[in-house]
Amino acid sequence: MARRAQLGIQFNWLFVLIIGAIILAFFITLINNQQEKAGAEEATDLVESLDTVFTVINTEPDTYDAFPIPDAEVEFTCEPGLSQYYIQGAGPIDTTYDPIFTPDVLRGDTIMSWTMTWGIPFEVAVLTFLANDRTLFVFASDEQDGFVKAMADELPEQFPRQTTSVSNIGGALLERGYSRYVVITDKAVKSMVPTELWDVTYVRHINPLGNGIDSYGQIKFYDASTREVTEPYFTEALAWGAVFAQDADAYRCAANKTLIHLQVISTILERRARAIAQELGALSFCYDNFLLVADSFQDFADDPSFDKARTFHSHRQTIENYQKISLRGYRCPDLY
C-alpha cells in the first residue's frame, strides 16, 4: 500500500513537471514569435521609411540629408537585371531605375545622403550618394588649387573628411574610429596605402581628360585586393558617383542607369529637333544646327554609351551660339 502511494506521488510530480515544461515551452515560443514579429515589423517600417526618404531626396537635387538606422544593416545590390536594397526581415525595395551610388552595406546609426543633378546640359537624372557616419573621405593632392581641393570644399561639411598631401596618405589613414576610408586623388598612390589598411581603404584616382573635372575622363579604382579597374566618367556628378560607390562594378551598374534616362530623353529631343528643323525650313540659319543635334541624339538613342554622350557637351556651345546669334537679329527656337 505504501509502495503504491509512493508511486502515485512520483507520478503526480512527473505529471506536474511535464505540464510545467509544456507551459514553459509555450511561453518561450510565444515570446520568440512576438520578438520575431516585432523585429519583422520594425524592419518593414524601416524599409518603408527609407523608401519614403529616397523618394523625397530624389525630388530635391543638390541637397544633403541624414536619417537614423538604429541597429540595422541596409544591404544594396546593383547588377544587371537586379537592383534593390533590403533589411533582414523585410522584403526588398526595387531600385532598377534609381542611380544610387553607395557601399554594398550601410551599418551604423545614421545614413548620410547627398543628391546631385546629372545634366548635359539639360537635367537627365538625380544621382543619390549614400554613406554612413563611419566613412572618412581623404582628399590627397599636392596641388593647392586643383580639382581635388575643389571637391573637398564641395563635399557637404557633415561628411567626415581630411585633406592631405600625396606623401602623407598613410598618416591620414591612421585616423581611428572609421570602418571605411575613401581616398580621392589625382596621383597613383596605391603603394602609399599601408598593407594592413587595404581591407577598409578604397582609392579613386581621377584623371580628367577634358576641360577640368566637370567634363570627362577616367577613374581608376583600387579595391581590397589592390586590383586596378579603370572606368570612364562624364561630368563631375559621375565622378562623385565613383567616390561613393562600393567598387567599379557597382559604379558601372549605377552609372548605366543614367544612360537609360538619357536614352529616353534623347528619343524625345531627337523628334523635337527634327520637327523644329522641318518647321524652320532648309533656308533657315538654324536648320543645319538642329539636324546635327537630332542626328547625335538618334545615334545615342540607338546605342547609348558615355563616349557618345560626350557629344552633347558640344551642344552647350551650340546653345550659347544661339544666344549670341539672337543678339545679332537672328532667333533660333529653344531645344531643351
Mean per-residue pLDDT, 92-114: 88
Q: What is the pLDDT of residues 61-94, one digit of tens each?
A: 788 888 877 777 888 999 887 898 887 766 788 8
Flag whether pLDDT at 327 surpasses 50. Answer: no
Q: What is the pLDDT of residues 25-70, one digit of tens each?
A: 544 544 444 444 434 455 556 666 666 666 666 667 788 888 877 7
pLDDT at 277: 86
| Average pLDDT of the chain to the nearest whole number | 79
Q: What is the pLDDT of residues 284-310, one digit of tens each?
A: 877 887 888 888 888 888 888 887 777
Q: Which strand (E) or helix (H) includes residue 302?
A: helix 287-302
CA distance 297 to 93: 32
For the chain, the domains span 1-133, 134-234, 257-327
pLDDT-above-70 percentage for the chain: 74
Q: Measured in whole angstroms, how far is the alpha carbon of residue 48 from the centre of its chain?
A: 19
Q: Where are the beta strands (DSSP E) in 186-241?
A: 201-208, 216-222, 228-234
Q: What is the pLDDT of residues 123-151, one digit of tens each?
A: 888 999 999 988 999 999 998 889 999 99
Flag whether pLDDT at 237 surpasses 90. Answer: yes
Flag whether pLDDT at 253 surpasses 60. Answer: yes
Tell whether omega for the bond before 121 is within 30 degrees of 0, i.e. cis.
yes
Say if pTM beats, i.e. exceeds, 0.85.
Answer: no
3-state class (DSSP) for residue 19:
helix
In the block, residue with C-alpha cell 596618405: 169
- Here the cell at position 208 is 580628367
